[in-house]
Each structure stands twice: as structure tokens, then as C-alpha cells.
Structure 1
Amino acid sequence: MTYGVRKRVARWVQPKFGVRRMPDRTTYDDALPKFAAIVARVLGDKAPIENFFLRDSSGRLTFVHTEHLDRTDRNKIVREARELEPYVERGSASVASISELFDVGNADTEPGLFEYIQHPVYEGFARVVERRIVGQDWLERPRNSIPGTPPIVVFGSHKGGVGRSTALAVAANSLAQNNYNVLVLDMDLEAPGLAGSLLPQGDNAKFGSLDYFVESVLAPVDDSFLEQMVAVSGLTKGRGRVHVCPAVGSIGETNAQNVLGKIARAYLESEDERGNSLSFLEKTRSLVARLTQANRYDAVFVDARAGLNEATAAAFLGLGADVLLFGVNTPQTFTGYRYFLSYLQRFRPESSGEDDWRFRLRMVHAKASPDPKNQQNFRTQSFELFADSIYDEEEGVDEASFNFDYDDATGPHYAWPILYDSNYSEFNPIAQPEQFSRSMYERTFGPFIDALMDRLNLSRSK
């Protein structure tokens, strides 16, 4: 990959009447581009990628040089970086060598990730090492699939209310009607709901995923605990079974006053039996692996938390799963996913292949109008979104690039539609079991379920 750098430097503004205005306060969004511009100006265009910037938990930046740095050049960077306060410390602390900050024996020879910057003062790549108190899982590269587990599908969305959980429940029921076994895992810890859709009152599991994450902070969770995390849905038809791991189990329902306290502790790191630190992402991978060892499943459906919080990172990046990005045809959908995909572009592999995580993404046009123009508009905005972020920039389509034509149905921008249906505006199959009947859901969810089963290489009975 070539990392080109183009700089446009604009430090002072000269207003009318000859009054010289001081530069505006440096903000988080300005700090890295301005620092990269200083480094590139002093050391050359390649310096921001041959060295790196350390961004600490508060957002403060340090330029870390990997090779010897001439004292004159170092002092020049320190002097010019003073204007970047408070995001760069005043004085020599703004520049450091690797040996001053890291254990050289354990240091990564090429630490950090390439971040593309597009800013009035700097345009190009910079290498960045992040240090965070929260949100650490977003620093993880997308993981490969978990060995020994069935295919995993994550149902995600930027906002709630788009029918994500409804589609998951209907799809799980349809697979059961086609004689497949499905594990449904509710990872929406702050807004749990799958248990209420799939498990009649009294049928809920004792513990939920929220209990698992809280209990594992202080001590490992044994197999008997996991056995009490899964309940069988009695609503589905056919020889297949839908097993549900709720977010909140019956013990949480009984002790409702404790749920908020649990949520506050669910994302804490813990230690394994060897004393190694386990992040929320690692614990999520372990949970899925252990739950799928107990029973034979043809697929695992994960209901992810809406938005871009820590639980979303674990589901989107940590499971090696197909990730379905639900959205309705509104500006908020594409604004939200632009944040997500623009961030993910730092993980783009240098060449596309079978293990390219980008193939696992897919837009879903939820509550879609039957009007073809409306669906085409959604596809157009999705295409532009992907083209501006994680599609490769090479012109044309070839085997070595991750790029798709607008009308290529295999591209992740080519959304699977789910039509709006007033019959599902209030989803409650416990009170309205006909919502799980094929005659009702076929028109609305049929094409989506067909596409999903093709993705899972499962045949659908007629």
C-alpha cells in the first residue's frame, strides 16, 4: 500500500482592518493533523508513518521517533508543537524515543495502525498508537471465526427501532421451521428484549449474558452456570429448535433493582486462570465458544447493541461473524454508519482475499417501501458510503481488489430489503403467535430469509 502525503499549511488568519487574530484553540479533531503536519514539515513526508504518534487515554499526543532524531530537529518539533496545547504537553515531553516510553525488548517493531487524515493542514497517513481506559475493543483488528463454532450472524444497527430484533426472531423461527437448530444470543445489555419475544413468562433462563460478564469479573464461570443461561423457545414450529441466551435472566427479573449495577460492571476486564487480562471482546468470544459446545447448532444469531459502544465492538469485530447493518432510508442511518466504516478503514488489508473481513458486512434496508425508487435510493447511498470508506480505490474491478460495481448484488452495499409491514409494527409473537406463521411473514421477510440462508449455505424447504 502506498501512503501518500499532501500538505496544506494554514497557521494564521489575517482578518480585515489589519487586526491579527490568534489561532483558535486546538481541539481533538485538529490535534493529530496539526502535529503530523509539523513532523512532516521538519522531518519529511514519510516521517508520520515511519515513526508514530502515541495518543493517551485523555487524548494527549506524543511524537515517538523510531530512529535517532537530530537534536536540532527535535527542538524544532517541540517548539512548534507548543501551539497544540492542551493536546500536546508543553516542553520536551511532546517528543520521545521508543526506549523512553516502551520496554524495547517487548516493543512491537511496527506499532500502531495507519490512520488516514483529511484536514486543511494535512492530508495523508499517520501511524497512531492508542491508549484508552474505555473502548479498548475498538482497537482490535477484526478477528477470524472462532474455531469449532457454527456460522455466526450479528444483527446490528446504528439506531434502535429499525426492526433488527424482530428480523432476528423471525429468521430464527424460520430456520427452526426448516429443521435447523439456532442459538440466539442477546448482547443488547442496555436494552434487552429477545427473551420477551421468544420465551413466554416463566420459561426464561436463570442467568443471562449480563450475569456472565459480571460474574466473570471476579471468578471464572463454570459449566453448570452456562447450562442455566440457555432456554428453549416453545413458540417455534418444526423439528428445529431455537435456544435463547437472554441478556437478563429470571434472576435479574426477580432482582430488577440490581440490573443497572450489573451494567456498570459488565465491561470490566478480568483475568483468566493464568493471570492474563481478558477484555470484554475476549470474554464474548469465550462465551460463544462455550455455549456452542454444549449443543449442536446450525447457526448462531447475535443481537448486538445499537450504536457504537463497547458491546458493539465485541460483536462486530470479535466474533469473525457476518455482520448485518440494519438501517432505514433516513440521513441518520448513513451518518451513523459513516462514523463506523470510516473508522474501520484503518483495518483494511493490503490485498483482498478469502479471509478479508470486509466480505462479512452487508447492509439491510429495513422497513423498506415497495417503491423501487426508494430501494434504489437506499442502495445508492449505501454504495457511496462504502466507496468513500472501505472499498479499494482502484478503478475497475479485479480479483486483487475489494471493489464492486453499483449493481453487483454480491457487494456489501447491495442491501437486502425487508418491507414495511404494519402486522409487525408491534412485535409480540407470544400474544400474537400468527406473527411466526410462514403465511404472514413470507411476504415481508421472505427475500431476507432466503438471502440469509444462502449466506449460511442452508437449504430452505418448500
Structure 2
Amino acid sequence: MILFGQLEKAIENILNQYLQLMGSLDWLVINRDLNGKIRLITDQKKEKDFDNNPDLISLVKTIADTIQPHGYTSDKMVLFESKLKDAVQGAPNFKLKNFPNVTFVDRLLSVSDWSFITPVSKGIPRIVFFSIKGGVGRSTALAVTARHLAEKGKKVMVIDLDLESPGISSSLLPQDQCPEYGIADWLVEDLVDNGDEIIKDMVSSSALSHNGKIWVAPAHGKEPGEYIAKLGRAWMPKMLKDKTREPWYKRLNRLLDNLENIHKPDVILIDSRAGIDEVSGACVTCLGAKNVLLFAMDSEQTWGGYTILFEHWRRYGVAGDIRGRLQMVGALIPETGADIYFDSLCERSWNLFLERLYDIVPAGEAEDKYFTYNKADDDAPHFPCIIRWNRGFSTLQNLYSPAQFNFDVDQIKAVFGSLLSTVEGMITDG
């Protein structure tokens, strides 16, 4: 019996038995459909001669017999298309390592995908706060960052996209100061062309800063009102007047553009959902983020998750589109054994980047031609800026209450200083 994760290797082993035939094909697509079943797609020119090509028939039968139940029977295994582009249809894909004329295509139910990387937004910088797992202090760090930037005179917009577990909004706004509507409300209303009616009532100003400005667009408004029913529709594509579908992440981009035009902030800080799913994927790859902060603790869960993600980017050939935007954040560095803990964190982070995102520099060539860094390079994406564990911040429920947020500048700097200076550099750089 063959399993889903063994398909690529099994097919590649079979292709190695038909090298002469593979050399005669202009292109071949290994198409894995929504159910995980494999079909082959090749040039339409081969269709009329298919029955007279014993090697091709043998290849198809061997693949069909080997990969069951993850493949169609040999009589239904092959489809024909006039062009490779038409066979791929923009789906996530990658080339097989030893067969540059073979493309492995994955058809996914989700409309956004971790391998789809949009260009950096042309507007003001967007910075995403992301973590593989929850409980790492990500939302608190974002709130403190917003306050710090505002105290420096910046106009900061905070977007709460952790819709399934809203948190950043309540850290910055008391309930009675929340706006009437939130992100989920707009996503639902936009489906019926009603988004413009509420967009001016979905942002409130936080009293946390006295110098600059902090605007908060919460997950939901003052009255959540059938919030679960809204979430069930928030991620729907929108049917446009020309009968095409606008994916939800494009709708979300349109919302960010509109909020940016209305409020004119200096920076947008986005609180992403944790984990490797469609929503967090869109936050990291589809919203034009200038930088993505990857929160990490030195645990097997953290490194296992980031390994899966980085390997996906490498495998699908998009690592070069995202790696320059990444910055690792060492979250909740312990009070005791901090140096040993950080050394381990940095070592594992560097190994991860080195194996999956950094370039391999050929012998004798200068490193400055390639995207690679030394382990001790503190300007590198892998080198973590740090957030120290602090008992006061770990029990913090909100930042808007003076009784809760009673930390002085030196305390904030001691805990978050590394992160805050890193984010300042992201805003001023370029």
C-alpha cells in the first residue's frame, strides 16, 4: 500500500526506469486532484500516437498499478492539453528534481496557498506578527510595538486578523470604546456590496499613546452579533459583475488599501492567526507584507512547524520571493539560563535557514553574490531579535488600563528593546 506522502518518490522511481521516453517528452504534468488522486497530463500531440507507443503505455500502467489507491486506472490515467500552461492552470506546482520537464501540480480546495507570494505592497509598510503555535506572547508584543511607535510620533494601524481567537483588540481598546463594526463584519457585508456602508465605523483610536496615533480595526465590533455565523461566511470568494470570483484574500487586500487611504497611517501591524492554515497563510504571503516576524520558542513543536513551512517554500520554488522579508523573533527568553537558551535558539534557527532558505555558495565564489549569512550575523533573518520573559507582562490583560500597564520605559526596553529597534529599522529601511 502506498500513502499520500510517498507518491512523489514512487513516481520519480518509475520515471527513472523510462529515461529514454522521458527525454522524448516536451513536458509531463503529474496532476494530484482534490482527493489526492493522480493523473498524467501531457502534450496533445502525443494523443494520436498513444496507442502505438508501447513505452508510454507501459509507463502509464506501471504508475497506475503502483500508486493505487491514489491513482486512476490506466485507461483513465492520461489527459492531453495543447499547452503546459493550460494543464497547470495556475495551481501550486514544482519541478521534479531530476526531471526538469516534469511538473508536479497540487489542486487545493483553498483559494490561498503558502506557495503564492504576492509582491510587497506599494503603500505604507505592512508588518505581520506570526507564530507557528499560540501562547508565545505575539499579540502582547504587537500591542507594545504599536505603543512604542506611536510614542515616537508614528501613526499606527493595528489589524486583528486572528478572527477565530481575537485578542489584540481587547489589549488596546476597552469594550465601550470598540468601533461599531470589525473585520468579520466587513468581510460579510462586502459579499453583498455593503462594505462601504460600514468601513468608516470599523476603526477606533486607542488612548494608549499620547504622542502619535494608534488605530485599531478589531476582529468584531462592539456587539459581535452572530459572530460564528459571520465567520462561516467571512472567507467566501465574491462573485463579481463580470461573473469572475474574487478570492477572499484579495477582498482583504482591498479592505487594507481602503483603510490605508482613509486613515493614512505610517505603518500597518497585522496580528495573524497562529498555525499553518489558509488564513494564516494569507496573512503571511498574500497581503503584501514588507516584513514577517516569525515568533519562535526553542521547542520541537516550533522547529517542526517552521521546517514544514520552509520546506514547502523551497520545494515550490518560491523561497526567493519570501526569505528576504522574514525575521525570526525569540519569544519569552527565560530569566535563568538565558544565554544558553538563546545560543540553542540561534543555532537551530540558523540550521533551518541554511538548509532550506539560504543559498549554497559554490566553492571559490564570493558570498555577497548569494542570499546567505553567517550564524553570528545579527542582521540576518535567522538571527532572533529577542523578547524576554517577564512576570508582569505574562499576566498582562490589557494595555489601556493604567492599573494594568504600569511599566516604565526602562522595563519595556529590557523586555522588548530588541524587537522594538528591529521594527523601527523595518519602517525606516527603504
Q: TM-score, normalised by structure 2?
A: 0.89
Matched, 1:287 2:255: yes
Aligned to 1:53: 30
Aligned to 1:29: 5
Candidates 311, 325, 329, aligned match of 2:279: 311
Matched, 1:344 2:318: no
CA apart distance, 1:59: 0.9
Q: 1:398 to 1:76 in 2, by over 3 A?
A: same
Local SS of the residue matching 2:112: helix
Candidates 220, 232, 236, aligned match of 2:205: 232
Matched, 1:249 2:221: yes
String of CA shifts for 1:347-405, please: whole Å, max 9, x gaps. 5469x6xxx43110011000013522211110100011111212122347634322111
CA apart distance, 1:331: 1.2
Q: 1:31 to 1:185 in 2, by over 3 A?
A: same
Matched, 1:271 2:271: no
CA apart distance, 1:335: 0.5
Q: Structure 2: how far apart are the matches of 1:137 and 1:115? A: 20
Aligned to 2:377: 408
Candidates 187, 192, 214, aligned match of 2:161: 187
Aligned to 2:94: 114
After the TM superposition, which of the residue ranges 448-457 and 69-78 deviates more from structure 2? 69-78
State the AA in 2 paired with 1:328.
Answer: M
State the AA in 2 paired with 1:377.
Answer: S
Aligned length: 415
- Structure 2: runs of 5+ lacking an equivalent: none
Task: Report 1:203-214 matches (<5 A).
Answer: 203-214=177-188
Candidates 165, 170, 177, aligned match of 2:144: 170
Q: 1:107 to 1:73 in 2, by over 3 A?
A: same
Matched, 1:73 2:55: yes
Check the 8 A contact 2:28/2:101 in 1, yes or no: no
After the TM superposition, which of the residue ranges 397-406 and 165-174 deviates more from structure 2? 397-406
- Structure 1: runs of 5+ lacking an equivalent: 1-24
State the AA in 2 paired with 1:373.
Answer: I
Check the 8 A contact 1:185/1:246 in 2, yes or no: yes
String of CA shifts for 1:82-140, please: whole Å, max 9, x gaps. 121111111222222224xx8x89666998532567xxxx999952222222x331165
Check the 8 A contact 1:40/1:48 in 2, yes or no: no
State the AA in 1 paired with 2:219.
Answer: A
Aligned to 1:456: 427
Aligned to 1:445: 416
Q: Structure 2: how far apart are the matches of 1:367 and 1:421? A: 8
CA apart distance, 1:160: 0.4
CA RMSD of aligned residues (A): 2.7
After the TM superposition, which of the residue ranges 440-449 and 266-275 deviates more from structure 2? 266-275
Q: Structure 1: how far apart are the matches of 2:405 and 2:24? A: 64
Local SS of the residue matching 2:113: helix
Q: Structure 2: how far apart are the matches of 1:48 and 1:183? A: 53
CA apart distance, 1:68: 4.3
Local SS of the residue matching 1:138: coil
Matched, 1:332 2:332: no
Matched, 1:141 2:116: yes
Q: Structure 2: how far apart are the matches of 1:72 and 1:277? A: 43
Q: 1:435 to 1:34 in 2, by over 3 A?
A: farther
CA apart distance, 1:245: 0.5
CA apart distance, 1:228: 1.2
Matched, 1:91 2:74: yes
Check the 8 A contact 1:338/1:385 in 2, yes or no: yes
Q: Structure 2: how far apart are the matches of 1:202 and 1:247? A: 15
CA apart distance, 1:251: 2.8
Local SS of the residue matching 2:178: coil
CA apart distance, 1:422: 0.7
Q: Structure 2: how far apart are the matches of 1:97 and 1:79? A: 16
State the AA in 2 paired with 1:447.
Answer: S
Q: 1:208 to 1:433 in 2, by over 3 A?
A: same
Check the 8 A contact 1:206/1:251 in 2, yes or no: yes
State the AA in 2 paired with 1:224.
Answer: E
Q: Structure 1: how far apart are the matches of 2:85 and 2:297? A: 50
String of CA shifts for 1:253-294, please: whole Å, max 9, x gaps. xx2xx2222222222211234332111221221111111000
Candidates 355, 360, 380, aligned match of 1:393: 360
Percent identical pairs in the alignment equals 25
Aligned to 1:373: 340
Local SS of the residue matching 1:247: coil
Q: Structure 1: how far apart are the matches of 2:182 and 2:24? A: 49
